[in-house]
Amino acid sequence: MKLKMLVVLLCGFLCGCCSSTPPSTSVSTLRVNFSEDPATLDPRKGGDSISCSFKFMLFEGLTRMTPFSNSIEPAIAESISISEDKRVYTFHLRQALWSNGEPLKAHDFAYAWRTLLDPGFPSPDSALLFPIKNARAVKMGELSGDALGVRVIDERTLEVELDHPTPYFLSLTSFCIYFPVPQDKEFSPQLTNGPFKMERYRPSDLMVVAKNPLYWDAKHVEIDKVEITFISNDMTALDFYMQQKLDCLGAGFSPIPVDFIPQLKKEGNLRVIPVGATSFCTFNLNVNPFSNANIRKAFAYSMDREAIVSCITQMDEEVAFGPIPPLLKGGRTTRFFPGPDLVKAQNCLQAGLTELNLTKDDLQGIPFTYLINGVHSRVAQALQYQWISTLGVWVRLEGYTRKVYLDKLMKRDYTFGYGLWIVQYPDLMNIFDRFKFRSNAKNYPGWENARYIDILDSSATSESSLERILLLEEAEQLLIDEMVIAPIYHWKEGFIHHPYVSNIYISPIGSIHLGFAKINKEKAYEN
């Protein structure tokens, strides 16, 4: 196989440099790799894509994402009742157990939600609970936790009251921020309620999770173990895959090296999956020069997105003319942003410099924050080249590992940078809500606008889906008019796996679900 020979030639020498060698495996063991450890395993904390992948292995919520309808279905909740005004949800829990054999109770959900909404609890995704009555006021310290619209009726009945009808609320409950945590126990990833349980973990080296026999749906989990290595070098990971030391690569796992994508496409081995994710340029509106809208527009209008998609990412991604991934819009396309306009970029730059009483020399060496990771590094380098070519402004690239990168964006400890998001539930509001309040940690620019807030509030009570769509398109246009962010492209994920592996579910939001995975033992033995 041409690709295998090329990989061995280019990166075989890297294997000896890697301290982490995948262990031997049985045929009922799935072997995967992530480029770094999860930042946290606590469902109440960070919602970055890598951490979430592990939380979906170890925990489960009231509902779950499923490949069968590409939607959500009841999970820990056996049945769900919704009031006529669509503001009160009653979840009737099935008889489920924690991995230590103790019953999972409605109190465990209420406890998890109340603790993460405590003003002192570090939870950058706490805004995802704000549809619940008084949740935002509780998080802001304006009301006590007792005011939260969550009531435990009995050990297996949970009632949730919302501030207003929220059509995507059940989708929200499938995301890990809504997962339970045992009440009155110190959090430990050893105590889980999902399809797998922790067996061992050596940070930066290896994690092994085993099938959880007490999981309520254990009879449908066919994988006995998942062995997870943490190899940061993408080429080394690809080499291990070609040697069949890894069973799959790409998508939410460690990325496929960009240089090998054309060959994989040619051989027909690459599965391309559209996901609700977008890369964009984010500006810190609280610092100069990006407090100025014209400066922001100058950098945005000078970006050649087509060149980035065709020459760098190579996954046939869609150029982003707005912040919302097409996957969330049901095929509806609206162009909010024009293509590159070099004349307009130059005019905006000069206008902004005049308004700030600056010269172009004052912009030289301005720092651009980005994520050191495969294609993202290359996109940052391409933008650097485009800006020096079109604006005559050289930006200083500052790359960081994922944990540091996200921390800088959420604390707004940056000037401008490369942004990316993967939606956490399949509705447009997951993106719009980030910009509703400046206090949201995911509102990287620190933007807030009264008109924008009114639009979002109106969309929540709209009488038809079309009315809601039109209102949200007005909000989308406002984000672009003020150039809060400058979209670049919407993602497609590349995924490869060996023939004996099937049913690894990559959801529309890009999350990985291994509870459905299968290994064909006969084909595995043949290899």
- Same domain? For 173 and 240 the reply is no
Give the separation between CA 461 and CA 485, rounded to whole angstroms: 27
pTM: 0.86
Of 178, 210, 238, the residue that ends a domain is: 178
- Same domain? For 54 and 114 the reply is yes
- Same domain? For 307 and 424 the reply is yes
- Same domain? For 136 and 204 the reply is no
Name 314's Cβ contacts closer than 8 Å, sequence gap at least 6.
258, 261, 262
Cis amide linkage into residue 23, ω under 30° from 0: no
- Same domain? For 331 and 477 the reply is yes
DSSP letter string, 223-236: -SEEEEEE---HHH
Specify the pLDDT at position 252: 87
- Same domain? For 342 and 326 the reply is yes
- Same domain? For 364 and 243 the reply is no
Q: Would you say 48 and 54 are in contact if contact means Cβ atoms under 8 Å apart?
A: no
- Same domain? For 332 and 469 the reply is yes
- Same domain? For 205 and 89 the reply is no
Question: Digits of tens for pLDDT over the chain (527 positions)?
Answer: 444 433 333 333 233 333 333 334 445 899 999 999 999 999 999 778 899 999 999 999 999 998 876 689 999 999 999 999 999 999 999 999 999 999 999 999 999 999 999 999 999 899 999 999 999 999 999 999 999 999 999 999 999 999 999 989 999 999 999 999 999 788 999 999 999 999 999 999 999 999 999 999 999 999 999 999 999 999 999 999 999 999 999 998 999 998 899 999 898 889 999 889 999 999 999 999 999 999 999 999 999 999 999 999 989 899 998 999 888 887 677 777 777 899 999 999 999 999 999 999 999 999 999 999 879 999 999 999 999 999 999 999 999 998 899 999 999 999 999 999 999 888 889 999 999 999 999 999 999 999 999 999 999 888 788 888 889 999 999 999 999 999 999 999 999 999 999 999 998 888 899 999 999 866 554 54
Specify the pLDDT at position 469: 87
The answer for 94, left when phi > 0, alpha when psi is -120 to 50, beta otherwise, is: beta
Specify the pLDDT at position 8: 36
Specify the pLDDT at position 4: 43
Inside any domain, residue 314: yes
Specify the pLDDT at position 337: 74
- In the block, tokens 């075989």 appear at 12
